[in-house]
Amino acid sequence: MNRRIVLYWVGRIVLLEAGLLLLPLFVGLLYGERSALSFLWSALAAAGVGLLMFFGARPRTRHMFAREGFAIVSMAWILTALIGALPFVISGQIPHYVDAFFETVSGFTTTGASIIPDLTKMDKGILFWRSFTHWIGGMGILVFMMAFLPSRSDRPIHIARAEMPGPTMGKVMPRMQDTAKILYLIYIGMTLVEFILLICGGMGVFDSAIHTFGTAGTGGFGSRPDSIAGYTPFCQWVITVFMLLFGVNFNLYFFLLVKRMGAALKSSELWLYLGTVGAAVAIVTFNVRGMFSTVEETIRHSAFQVSSIITTTGFATTDFNAWPALSKAVLLTLMMLGCCAGSTGGGLKMSRVFILLKTIRNEVRHLLHPRSVTVSRVDGKKLDKEAERGTLSYFAVYMLCFTACFLLVSIDGKSLETNISAVAACFNNIGPGFGDVGPAANYAHYSFFSKIVLSFAMLFGRLEIWPLLLSFSPSMWKR
């Protein structure tokens, strides 16, 4: 383990966070809020820690391997969350540090689970920082740094592989830094388009920025207690469409930009994603008919909630906790599935679901015809055995971690529905669940212990388990 390169990279990330904290400082000053100074003190603290790590651990060699990549990603995400929680505590907007840590982890991991009972009492600068963490964490904190800061380190692809969601990580350009830059430019472009459309739909500039950050990062933090319910149907449709768009693998957008339409349309994951959305919307629309006054309203709320849950965004236009059991079962299933790999969304990912379905089909064929040889193909290519093995092992560890978190959270004595949906919502980076953590409620009633467990569940889900799990292994840190 090259510990110096780990501290060096983490130091750079903390310095980047110090710079990003100046944006909510500016917003707070713009609105004349006293809490704005909390961002200045937090930025100075981050700068101090970052400089100490950056200059105190100058690496003798810049060689990096998978072990260093996992360590950098896990340390960077935990430390940025610890520092990012400071403005909430210093300003007094969230007095308890564990609550602030929970809120910050929820922001960076694009989960959207909250402990704040009344958003109307929060300052604009705090609300901006809270949602801006979604946008930063959506494509990845370290990918953001690789895209816009020069790097002389060897093989930064190990960092990207540890941070980017999905069973495999594709490169659209030979150099990882060029790939990160292109993907982030697409991300910024889509963000700007949604921001403009929301303003055109009558949403204010500040609210448009907040909800665009939440949509782009598929996070779900907003500025109103009723989430998106109080905005116009046009704005709700815009957010619905963009939630679905941000749930697509960003590599496909690159193919569209370079006019490789065939490569984009050949994606089996894309069609499984769109087919699942279409089927879920049809079932929910039929199931909730009669609960809304018009057909358009029924379809709009159904499409919005299905899009919000499958992309793990967590916005709401209605209290779906009051929907019939079938609709809630569909939404709970979508919580586990998630959207596409290489997107800003969470969950198991459609690519893994596709591989699992292929593996089950092959196993059934093998049981019926033991001597037959079956070859799985994805998008016309032979499915790599390593990808298949990785998917199966990930699913097994996913279920073990999910069960462990559920058992630990159950110590609080909440209802079964509340605990299962809370862990599902946090582990899959969704936010609202059912029962006492539904869209009209929050996570404030959980104990500090459960909030810490759920915070790590969010980190496990966003980093897809392995980086964080391996960081707890003493053997990984041996020289």
443 lies in some domain:
yes
Residue 278 φ/ψ, nearest 5 degrees: -60, -45
Which residues are CB-contacts of 266 (< 8 A; sequence separation ≥ 6)?
A: 379, 380
Looking at residue 437, which CATH number applies to its domain? 1.10.287
Task: Report the pLDDT value the prediction gives residue 411, as an integer from 0 to 100.
Answer: 95
Residue 42 falls inside a structural domain: no
- Does residue 392 form part of some domain? yes
Encoding tokens for residue 203?
């949403």
Q: Quick count: other Cβ atoms within 10 Å of Cβ 257?
A: 14
Residue 449 falls inside a structural domain? yes
Per-residue pLDDT tens listing for the chain (479 residues): 778 888 888 999 999 999 999 999 999 999 999 999 999 999 999 999 999 998 877 777 767 777 888 888 899 999 999 999 999 999 999 999 999 999 999 999 999 999 998 898 999 999 999 999 999 998 888 777 776 666 555 456 666 666 666 565 555 555 667 777 888 899 999 999 999 999 999 999 999 999 999 999 999 999 998 999 999 999 999 999 999 999 999 989 988 888 788 878 888 999 999 999 999 999 999 999 989 999 999 999 999 999 999 999 999 999 999 999 999 999 999 999 999 988 888 888 998 998 898 888 888 888 888 877 777 777 777 777 777 888 889 999 999 999 999 999 999 999 999 999 999 999 999 999 999 999 988 999 999 999 999 999 999 999 888 888 888 888 777 76
Q: Name, in order, each residue with C-beta under 8 angstroms of 303's C-beta and a sequence gap of 6 or more.
A: 240, 281, 285
User: Quick check: is 398 in a domain?
Assistant: yes
76 contact partners, CB below 8 Å, separation of at least 6: 9, 10, 13, 14, 141, 142
Q: Is residue 403 part of a domain?
A: yes
Does residue 402 belong to any structural domain of this protein? yes
Could you count the other beta carbons within 10 Å of the beta carbon of residue 403?
A: 11
Region of 234 (left: φ > 0; alpha: ψ -120 to 50; beta: rest) is alpha
Q: What angle do the packed helices 3-20 and 66-84 form, to 10 degrees?
A: 30
pTM for the model: 0.92
Encoding tokens for residue 152?
A: 């002389």
Report H helices in 201-267. 205-216, 233-246, 250-257, 261-265
Question: Residue 175: which region, alpha, beta or left (left: phi > 0; alpha: psi -120 to 50)?
Answer: beta
Domain total for the chain?
A: 1
pLDDT of amino acid 266: 85
Output phi, psi for 375, to 5 deg. -120, 120
- Of 186, 248, 246, nearest to 216 (Cα)? 246
Is residue 418 in a domain? yes
Range of the domain at 455: 387-477
